Structure 1
Amino acid sequence: MTATVKKLHEQRLVIADDDYLILATLGAGLRDAGFQVFEAVSGEEAISLCQSETPDLVILDVTMPGMSGLDAAQVIRGFNIPILFLSAFDEKKIVDDAIQQGALAYLVKPVDINQIIPAIDTALSRANEIQSLHVKEKNLTAALHKGRETSIAIGILVAHSQLSAQQAELQLRHYSRNKRLKMNAVAEKIIYQSEQFNNLIKEIILG
């Protein structure tokens, strides 16, 4: 799944409900609205479709024979696919369980197309916002990791020279630029070589 928002109502949906009438009615209405719809009558079939069709959203009935929608959601969450639940019940425990399984929306049946389309739009929008935040968090973590390695390398240079931290950083930048290498790559090499040197010293001393 990516953070790119597709044109409204061109998304791919998997709908799972053991009630064939509800499944057919919702499927037809959503197709008329422009969605690509893949229908399932069980949790197992929904999982299989999620694997083969990579939908943008899956709509699960909470209570289905065999594997329930909640059980299927535990697997589908691993595919990074947003989930919307349908249920004939609005009991707090069921709603709480659905939220725990990553539900972005929870609708109580009976529902019609005029109700479900806005819920789908909202769920897809929230899913894209969450994905965007995850990407930003990942990029920030990577940047912090690179900054940490550079700081460690500068510390090693200071320990093995008469340079100040500022001078060591300038030398590291100068070397990286001359060698046409990324400074982080040079920092990683310094750290690795320092660890190798320290291990050799320990081996010699300890015999």
Structure 2
Amino acid sequence: MSVLSILIADDEALTRLDLKEMLQGAGHIVCGESNNGLKAVELAKSLAPDLAILDVMMPGLDGLETAKIIHSMNIPVLLLTAYSQPNFINRAEKVSVYGYLVKPITERDLLPAIQIAYARWREMQDVRTKLENTQLELQSQKLIARARAILAAREKVSNYDAHQLLIQQAMNLRISVVNLAAQIINQAKDYLQEK
């Protein structure tokens, strides 16, 4: 497992110390520590850790609300708690945490939980990137199809010939087919508005 920079937030100083020793012993970097949720959010903003480990019960902003905010910063969260009741687990599920450990925490439990939480987060990042790329590709294909239809009607040629014309014009102008398609669509809109 790669070295991670980790933010720890727990209102119990002894727990923070134990966590820090376990994490540093495993080669990770504890980039920040907090005894409350608000400070943890501030540290997450300024330090941009690879992972945050939060206690559920903290003064001010509790761990679940803190997790929600930190998750919105695209930082994976692992929750620690002395509570294993279903209502805490259900709330944790809704704020998109990547792991949930019940105290007392041992190195045997903590290190695999960190590894799995970080791996799941990375998988989600990959899925999100693929989805964004797929959406961009779909938008590009729609633009090209609209431009091809405009060219086919304007030049009175088949869709195939319009597509070939689109490719040839893009090559001649040294721009992408998508950019040319956008230009053709905008020109067609301008033409229709002038009428």
Q: For residues 9-158 of structure 1, what are the structure 2 equivalents within 5 Å?
A: 9-37=2-30, 38-158=32-152
TM-superposition CA deviations, 1:150-169 (whole Å, max 9, x none): 00001111221220000000
Deviation at 1:9, TM superposition (A): 4.5
TM-score under structure 2 length normalisation: 0.97
Give the root-mean-square deviation of aligned CA atoms.
0.9
Aligned partner of residue 110 in structure 1, secondary structure: coil
Letter of the structure 2 residue corresponding to residue 149 of structure 1: L
CA distance in structure 2 between the partners assigned to 1:100 and 1:190 by the alignment: 45
Deviation at 1:175, TM superposition (A): 1.0
Letter of the structure 1 residue corresponding to residue 71 of structure 2: R
Aligned partner of residue 84 in structure 1, secondary structure: strand
Amino-acid identity (%): 33
Deviation at 1:116, TM superposition (A): 0.4
CA distance in structure 2 between the partners assigned to 1:68 and 1:106 by the alignment: 15
CA distance in structure 2 between the partners assigned to 1:165 and 1:9 by the alignment: 52
Q: 2:53, 2:77 within 8 Å by CA — same for their partners in 1? A: yes
CA distance in structure 1 between the partners assigned to 2:112 and 2:97 by the alignment: 15
**5+ unaligned residues in a row in structure 2: which ranges?**
none
* Misfit runs of 4+, over 6 Å: none
Q: 1:9, 1:33 within 8 Å by CA — same for their partners in 2? A: no
RCO higher in structure (CA 8 A, sep ≥6) = 1
Which residue is equivalent to 2:170? 176
Aligned partner of residue 13 in structure 1, secondary structure: strand
Number of equivalences: 194
Q: 1:59, 1:85 within 8 Å by CA — same for their partners in 2? A: yes
Pair 1:187-2:173 in alignment:
no
Q: 2:71, 2:97 within 8 Å by CA — same for their partners in 1? A: no
Q: 2:81, 2:101 within 8 Å by CA — same for their partners in 1? A: yes
**5+ unaligned residues in a row in structure 1: which ranges?**
1-7, 202-207
**Do the aligned partners of residues 169 and 9 (structure 1) sit closer, same or farther apart at CA in structure 2, a change above 3 Å counting?**
closer
CA distance in structure 2 between the partners assigned to 1:62 and 1:45 by the alignment: 14
CA distance in structure 1 between the partners assigned to 2:172 and 2:154 by the alignment: 21
